[in-house]
Structure 1
Amino acid sequence: MRYRLCGLAAGLLIAGASWGTAFADDGWVTAFADDGWVTLVDGDKKVEFAEVGKANWEAKDGVLMADKLDGKDPSYLVTKASYKDFQITAEFWVDDAANSGIFIRCDQSAKIDSNICYEVNIFDKRPDPKYGTGAIVDVSKVDPMPKAGGKWNTYEITAKGTRLTVMLNGEKTADVDDSKHAAGPIALQYGSGVVKFKKVQIKPL
């Protein structure tokens, strides 16, 4: 089974509608949970998202990907559900020019940025590499910055109370206490380059 996206069938509908409602009739959290893990993106499972901004998100070769914006602003796929304490695992591929990230505990869902969310960055060419790939923007620096371009990577992100930790490909890149954002939706970003997400799961703690 493959993704069916906006303009083609029931799928990711822009303007605040949902992605995959046909697959979420009986409560998507229960239906998609496996040992406590909820699948947000996978080859044949998907959860409800709203899109903020617009990009050419599509399913191709078994992954969810985008490589072009429709407008100047980044695009975000935002979960309908809000999360407080959790673990995330995410498999992603980006090219060297990509600007992406996973935003957590966002204070709202209609506007997404690093001021109202924690942004776990994917941005090898960020002008200030201290907050590039592996960092939590403006919260936890990374030095030296690892690079994710041109290969498959795995993020493991844990938020429990005020403690935030990030692991990239098994190496810890961020470990910090911060209390600015307590709970909120999760968002996947497309900003530039080629961005692919193969599997994204979350486990409430």
Structure 2
Amino acid sequence: MIRPLASLCFVLATILSISAAETTDFVDLFNGKNLEGWTQRNGTATYQIEDGAIVGTTAEGSPNSFLCTDKLYGDFEMTFEVMLDPGLNSGVQIRSQCKDDQPTGRVNGPQVEISYDKMAGYIYGEAAGGWMTPDADRVPNDHVKNGQWNTYRIVAKGDRIQTWINGAQVSDLKHPERFQSHPKGFIGLQVHGIRKGTGPYEVRWRHLKIREL
């Protein structure tokens, strides 16, 4: 009787240790205090810290701006909260890079859409061919709530990218071509360019967490 009980205890301990690892191995991408570990690329939008959130503010006449992690990621799971001003389009770059691998080169790669135009959560190829999610699969949704914090979850593994908004799955995309060209890269927080005479607009991110798979 002792050996079966010991074996059962070992199995339970193993399961609990795995479960604990799955819930504790996320790390903070943003420390809530400063932009250590991040570098701005492209554009003249501003990024600052307010109440533990990264606040991106548009600059009139600026092209798209990106605040990018210094660390590169391949396969990962990521969660964050975002709040967007009406009238502004935004997104989060994943596995992205700069043209010619130069600091000032054009940011390019997959982008998870953040917007109120009902395309939120689908995958766009920023300076990389346009929409990666096929037209037929971009079913309009209203998961993003105006004036509220919205929770995104992204899982990128191999050529598959999955997204959820506020617990509802939006996208389950396989894109071998883009995975071949962008298997690994930085995470980037986009402030979209705006037309002259509009704005300023703000987008806020907080509780950015990631775990590598």
TM-score range, shorter chain: 0.7 to 0.9
Judged with a 3 Å threshold, the aligned counterparts in structure 2 of structure 1 residues 112 and 102 are, in CA distance, closer, same or farther, namely farther
Q: Residue 167 of structure 1: CA displacement?
A: 0.5
Give the one of 127, 139, 144 matched to 2:132.
139
Give the one of 199, 204, 207 matched to 1:196.
204
2:162 aligned residue: 165
Give runs of aligned pairs for residues 50-69 of structure 1, distance below 5 A. 50-52=39-41, 53-69=43-59
Provide, for residues 80-131 of structure 1, a one-character-per-residue CA deviation record: whole Å limited to 9, x for no partner.
Answer: 1111100010111112212111000113364455xx3111011224xxx5xx
Provide, for residues 111-169 of structure 1, a one-character-per-residue CA deviation record: whole Å limited to 9, x for no partner.
Answer: 455xx3111011224xxx5xx31111211243123234311101100001111100010
Contact 1:122 1:148 in 2 (8 A): no
Matched, 1:84 2:74: yes
Identity rate of aligned residues, in percent?
29
1:117 aligned residue: 109
Q: Residue 44 of structure 1: CA displacement?
A: 3.9
* Residue ranges of structure 2 left out of the alignment (5+ in a row): 1-22, 125-130, 195-200
Q: Greater helix percent: which structure?
A: 2
Q: Which amino acid aligns with 2:86?
A: D
TM-score scaled by length of structure 1: 0.72
Contact 2:47 2:67 in 1 (8 A): no
Aligned residues: 165
Could you tell me how far apart the structure 2 residues matched to 1:78 and 1:142 are?
Answer: 27
Which protein has greater RCO, CA pairs closer than 8 Å, 6+ apart?
Answer: 2
Could you tell me how far apart the structure 2 residues matched to 1:60 and 1:83 are?
Answer: 26
Larger Cα Rg: Structure 1 or Structure 2? Answer: 2
Give the one of 8, 24, 38 matched to 2:27.
38
Q: Which amino acid aligns with 2:204?
A: K
Contact 2:44 2:62 in 1 (8 A): no
RMSD (CA atoms): 2.1
2:95 aligned residue: 105
Could you tell me how far apart the structure 1 residues matched to 2:35 and 2:62 are?
Answer: 27
* Residue ranges of structure 1 left out of the alignment (5+ in a row): 1-33
Contact 1:134 1:168 in 2 (8 A): yes
Q: Residue 54 of structure 1: CA displacement?
A: 2.1
2:18 aligned residue: none
Q: Which amino acid aligns with 2:141?
A: M
Q: Which amino acid aligns with 2:203?
A: V
Q: Residue 41 of structure 1: CA displacement?
A: 2.0
Contact 1:56 1:70 in 2 (8 A): no
